[in-house]
Amino acid sequence: MTPTPRTVAVIGGGIAGLAAAHDLAVAGCAVTVLETTDRVGGKLRMGEVGGVSVDLGAESILARRPEGLDLVRDVGLSASTENPRTLSASIWTHGGLRTMPPSVMGVPADLAALVASGIVSRSPAARAVPVPDHDVSVASFVEQRLGREVVDRMIEPLLGGVYAGHADRLSLRATAPQVEALGPDLVAGAAATWAERADRPLSPVFFAPTGGVGTLPEAIVAAGRFDVRTGATVRAVERTVDGWRLTIGPTTAMEALEVEAIVVATPAPAAARLLHDVAPRAAFALAGIEYASVGIVTFVLDGAFEPEGSGFLVPAVDGTAIKGATFSSSKWQWSRDAAAGRTLVRTSIGRAGETLLLQHDDTTLIDLARADLAAATGSVGHVVDALVHRWGGALPQYDVGNLDVVDTIERDVASVEGLEICGAAYRGVGIPATIGTGRAAAARLLARETMDA
Ligand SMILES: Cc1cc2nc3c(=O)[nH]c(=O)nc-3n(C[C@H](O)[C@H](O)[C@H](O)COP(=O)(O)OP(=O)(O)OC[C@H]3O[C@@H](n4cnc5c(N)ncnc54)[C@H](O)[C@@H]3O)c2cc1C
């Protein structure tokens, strides 16, 4: 009979680890979060540019899935959230900012509206092709049915925005199941989805805590009943007779921690190293997951420049340095208030495999991003300040066959008592999906222990 675990170590203090820690602590476990950097949050992080508070990582949470809203409610933040002031997004292509026509993840719901947007040069020759019974790349699925131009100018910019990835590599089933669900005739499927949406009351698509998504990690810690140790790199984990021994800290001052269960909430490369001996099949699969690195260049501009809409995305085939821009002070009221009459814009740079661009120094990246921004919008006026934040190993790439890889990992981990994993490497990189993996890991651990009891 194994009682509910009394001591659990969560390795990695990103949003997945914090969500797991929260639920385990609520269930009565003594939880310690071990985080290698000097702060929790991982890809959720606040910073300052020109004296203005900004999100340096994730800046928006999908409200159409419950996990983000639920966690925000559970830590008492619901009353201080907001929805974007505008959702109108554009594609910068063919020499201008062109409003996105109605689409489902880039699949147009109306070909006439797509052509009128100027995003494509001519109406695609749409074909109905049966949906395959195996995973394929998003690009090949859409190209067969709508041609390459729709892939390049509608699908790729969206996947570049979410995954910093390429449609030719990314798995349809793992990254765009809603596109697969449209069926053989993609435009008919997208049109039906839009018609269905029109019958429902409008609900907000995105939200953020007022003050920034990067404020959420500290709110979880403040609401939680768990310990956090920052500057604590977990170097190794090993099984003991009744639990786990963790080796923590620099090689010159290593320390051991004994707990009954562990949740590995790090990105895949660190998880692969940690699980090498205890779950070798999972470790091997984890080691094969590639990551894209990205850079965020945030500008504080004088108030003369006030862009409309929430921002724009750029097709990779257009060869620009930036792959998108968010007009933060137009999009979020909290950001507008923080900017106090100035304008905040964040641009993002870097797709999977594009390592050279991010090797430029900060000044060059700022110049490249500013030039693109000016070309897209006409003029950006005076730059009051700019900041480059590099995210190495930012986003896992869900290549074709990813769901099988994740199944292998999860099966191997499930065979090891007192071990769970969670994070953006499994079943969704967005914040709600990532929170979902953390909460599910906590629930599995508690259920396993209760079943054993
Ligand atoms: C620039 C950027 C913008 C994004 N924008 C959005 C957005 O607007 N909306 C959205 O939904 N998603 C967005 N995402 C994606 C989302 O933010 C991430 O997928 C998610 O936050 C990942 O959370 P995680 O907990 O899995 O991993 P991480 O945030 O990577 O956390 C893992 C933690 O583990 C720690 N760690 C690693 N190794 C060890 C070790 N050995 N010992 C101890 N600790 C360790 C790391 O330091 C890190 O803090 C964005 C991502 C990036 C990079």
CATH at residue 223: 3.50.50.60
Sorting pLDDT into bands at 50, 70 and 90, what band is 151? very high
Mutate to test the pocket of ligand 1, among 216, 218, 228, 266 (most ligand atoms within 8 A of CB): 266
Q: Do 267 and 306 have their domain in common?
A: no
pLDDT given at position 177: 96
State whether the beta carbon of 54 lies less than 6 angstroms from ligand 1: no
CATH number, domain with residue 388: 3.90.660.20
Q: Across residues 412-420, what is the average pLDDT? A: 97
Residue 39 alpha carbon to ligand 1 centre in Å:
12
Mutate to test the pocket of ligand 1, among 431, 435, 437 (most ligand atoms within 8 A of CB): 431
Residue 131 inside a domain? The answer is: yes
Q: Element (H or E) spanning 198, and its range? A: helix 186-198
Q: Do 111 and 252 have their domain in common?
A: no
| Residue 438 CA, closest ligand 1 atom number | 25
| Residue 232 CA, closest ligand 1 atom number | 43
Residue 233 inside a domain? The answer is: yes
Distance, CA of 211 to CA of 136 (rounded, Å)? 40
Q: Do 221 and 186 have their domain in common?
A: no
Q: Do 357 and 422 have their domain in common?
A: no
Q: Across residues 175-183, what is the average pLDDT? A: 97
Q: Do 324 and 407 have their domain in common?
A: no
Q: Element (H or E) spanning 113, and its range? A: helix 111-117
State whether the beta carbon of 266 lies less than 6 angstroms from ligand 1: yes
Pick the closest to residue 382 from 119, 50, 25 (CA basis). 50
Q: Do 192 and 116 have their domain in common?
A: yes
Q: Do 429 and 343 have their domain in common?
A: no
Q: What is the pTM of this model?
A: 0.96
Q: Do 368 and 429 have their domain in common?
A: no
Q: Per the structure block, which two tokens stand in for 337?
A: 């208030």
> Which residues lie below 8 Å from residue 64, measured CB to CB, with a gap of 6+?
203, 205
* Residue 127: domain span: 100-198
Residue 415 inside a domain? The answer is: yes
CATH number, domain with residue 147: 1.10.3110.10
Residue 390 inside a domain? The answer is: yes
Domain endpoint, select from 198, 223, 248: 198
Residue 64 alpha carbon to ligand 1 centre in Å:
21
Domain endpoint, select from 142, 170, 198: 198
Residue 31 alpha carbon to ligand 1 centre in Å:
20
State whether the beta carbon of 13 lies less than 6 angstroms from ligand 1: yes
State whether the beta carbon of 429 lies less than 6 angstroms from ligand 1: yes
Distance, CA of 244 to CA of 203 (rounded, Å)? 45
Domain endpoint, select from 396, 414, 442: 396
Atom 50, ligand 1: residue with shortest CA distance: 58
Q: Do 240 and 278 have their domain in common?
A: yes
State whether the beta carbon of 44 lies less than 6 angstroms from ligand 1: yes
Whether the per-residue pLDDT at 51 is higher than 60: the answer is yes
Atom 3, ligand 1: residue with shortest CA distance: 58
Residue 392 alpha carbon to ligand 1 centre in Å:
11
Q: Do 387 and 297 have their domain in common?
A: yes
Q: Per the structure block, which two tokens stand in for 164?
A: 């910093």
Q: Which residue has the higher pLDDT, 379 or 98?
A: 98
Average pLDDT, rounded, for the chain:
95
- The answer to whether 27 and 446 have CB atoms below 8 angstroms apart is yes
pLDDT digits (tens, 9 = 90+) for 222-235: 998 899 999 999 99
State whether the beta carbon of 237 lies less than 6 angstroms from ligand 1: no
Residue 383 inside a domain? The answer is: yes
Residue 16 inside a domain? The answer is: yes
Q: Do 272 and 421 have their domain in common?
A: yes
Q: Total domain count for the chain?
A: 3
Q: Do 299 and 161 have their domain in common?
A: no
State whether the beta carbon of 267 lies less than 6 angstroms from ligand 1: yes
Residue 36 inside a domain? The answer is: yes
pLDDT given at position 215: 97
Sorting pLDDT into bands at 50, 70 and 90, what band is 355? confident
Distance, CA of 186 to CA of 142 (rounded, Å)? 8
Residue 326 inside a domain? The answer is: yes
